[in-house]
Amino acid sequence: MDGSAPWRQTSWDWRAAGNFTFAGSGSGLAFVAAALALTTGEHVIAAFLLAVLLVGAGFALVWDQTGRPKDFVKQFFSSQTSWKTREALIAPALLVVTLVAAVLPLTLVLLLVLLLSGGFLYVQGRILTDASAIPAWRERSIVPLILSTGAAEGAALLAVVATLTFSDGANAALRLAILLAALRWPVWTIYRDSLSTGAPSQAAAALRAFGEKRVAVVLWVPVALLGAAGVLPLFGSVVALIGGVAAAAAGWWLKYLIISQEASDQGYLAQDKPAG
């Protein structure tokens, strides 16, 4: 292969996808848990602890993917040029502040959680846009997609945790999960439509293989389940748990689609095509 034709990249494997999945969900969970605590006073301790575990798992996958500790450490010294470095700088701070928030839900600490978790999701989106040779990643609308699905996943997990721990904030978490899961659809459609022109044949074929109807089902069924949980007098908690897991899994599936199946390099012949 001379590099002039589109080909699927292999540098980012399941560990990279796992970082976007676990750390993305964890940062989204930290964000919505802090927002819930600030706006309603409901402090779901387990949500902050789960967020720490998820972000830590994603961070560990980044460490493993680099292969050599020295390469990992080097990432901390190029923050002005690398979004990956910015992610590596934010992640430890997010872990510490989120852990503190689980014990001391002070307003300043919760505001720091909001700032760092929101920044972390934004940086993850920018890491993808920096891959200018991969149309499915460099598309600018992928940033709001990463932000929206991370928030939706976090709200869904918050609803699950709040339900399991019988938190007084369970109803508020459920409403937030419904809203953010529903908002994910228009953001996805903007990304899909932006990607529909100019993508390599492999990427376009992979997108078609997943199917628009299938994506609609995957994104809307959790919304329906979460909505039903809010009105069912019986078994509402069970349906909320199922809907929350389904809403989080829908975001993970989208990331799998984008990072694993849509990772076609466009080849040298079209490298100068502008993003967006």
Would you state the structure tokens that stand for residue 205, as one six-digit string? 């074929």
To which residue do tokens 């006073």 refer? 41
DSSP characters over 156-225: HHHHHHHHHTT-TTHHHHHHHHHHHHHHHHHHHHHHHHHHTSS--HHHHHHHHHH-HHHHHHHHHHHHHH
Would you state the structure tokens that stand for residue 239, as one six-digit string? 């349906």
Helix 236-256 to helix 142-164 angle (10° resolution) is 150
Q: What is the dihedral of CA 35, 40, 44, 48, to 10 degrees?
A: 20
pLDDT tens for the chain, residues 1 to 276: 444 444 455 556 667 778 899 999 999 999 999 999 999 999 999 999 999 999 999 988 876 555 555 555 555 555 455 788 888 899 999 999 999 999 999 999 999 999 999 999 999 999 999 877 787 788 889 999 999 999 999 999 999 999 999 999 999 999 999 999 999 999 999 988 887 765 666 666 666 666 788 899 999 999 999 999 999 988 999 999 999 999 999 999 999 888 876 665 555 444 444 433
For residue 15, the SS3 value is helix
Using CB atoms within 10 A of its CB, is residue 72 exposed (0-12), middle (13-18) or buried (19+)? middle
The confidence score (pLDDT) of residue 1 equals: 46
For residue 136, the number of C-alpha atoms closer than 13 Å in the C-beta half-sphere is 24
Complete domains list, the chain, with CATH: 12-265 (1.20.1630.10)
Helix 170-195 to helix 236-256 angle (10° resolution) is 30
Q: What is the pTM of this model?
A: 0.86
How far is CA 216 from each of CA 12, 174, 185, rounded to the nearest angstrom?
A: 27, 21, 8
The confidence score (pLDDT) of residue 82 equals: 79
Helix 83-103 to helix 24-40 angle (10° resolution) is 40
Helix 45-66 to helix 24-40 angle (10° resolution) is 160
Handedness of CA 153, 156, 162, 168 (dihedral sign): positive
